[in-house]
Amino acid sequence: MKSKVNENQQLEWNKFEEHRKVWNKEVVNAKEADELQVSVSSVLREHIEPGGQVIPHYHSVAELIHITIGKVELLREDGWHKYEQGDTFLIPKGVVHSVRNVSPEISEQLSIFLPVDETNVGNVFFDTVLVEEKESIVHE
């Protein structure tokens, strides 16, 4: 398997019709995740225009949402809460949630949809193996 790059300019913005003023680019799709042998349903780069909102909903998967630009409000079990760039939401499967842009400029987020495996026995931090620089360069 070789490395692959999904270049931003080649990814199209798609309007989320069911939400208000929300657009997305699919950074990694399920087929690409299968090729990498990882369990990810989708990875989306999303932007929400001022006054826009991802309407309340829930998923059959868990979702990790990382705010990369702007200020938003997140609907959680106990109401709306304000957050900003750098904050990350961890949404379990089946939990109703919503994100709305509360700033005068576009907000952006990275949403990662993770299948839930009821038999998961636990995760561990990944290993990294360093190689000599000359070995890391591939010559064709």
CATH number at residue 80: 2.60.120.10
Residue 3, in any domain of the structure: no
- The residue range of the domain holding 87 is 8-118
Residue 125, in any domain of the structure: no
Spatial distance between the Cα atoms of 31 and 37, rounded to a whole number of angstroms: 10
Q: Residue 57 pLDDT > 60, yes or no?
A: yes
Q: What is the pLDDT of residue 138?
A: 56
Spatial distance between the Cα atoms of 67 and 88, rounded to a whole number of angstroms: 6
Q: Give, as one character, the DSSP assignment of residue 9.
A: G
Count of the separate structural domains present in the chain: 1
* Mean pLDDT, residues 21-43 taken together: 92
Residue 7: pLDDT band with limits 50, 70, 90? confident
Residue 68, in any domain of the structure: yes
At residue 8, φ and ψ (nearest 5 deg) are -50, -45
Residue 114, in any domain of the structure: yes
Residue 91, in any domain of the structure: yes
Q: What is the pLDDT of residue 90?
A: 96
Residue 82, in any domain of the structure: yes
Question: Residue 86 region, left (φ>0) first, then alpha (ψ -120 to 50), else beta?
Answer: left
Residue 92, in any domain of the structure: yes
Spatial distance between the Cα atoms of 35 and 15, rounded to a whole number of angstroms: 27
The fraction of the chain above a pLDDT of 70, given in percent, is 94
Cβ atoms of residues 119 and 81 within 8 Å: no
Nearest residue to 53 via CA among 4, 112, 115, 97: 97
CA atoms lying within 13 Å on the CB side of residue 136:
5
Residue 135: pLDDT band with limits 50, 70, 90? low
Residue 106, in any domain of the structure: yes
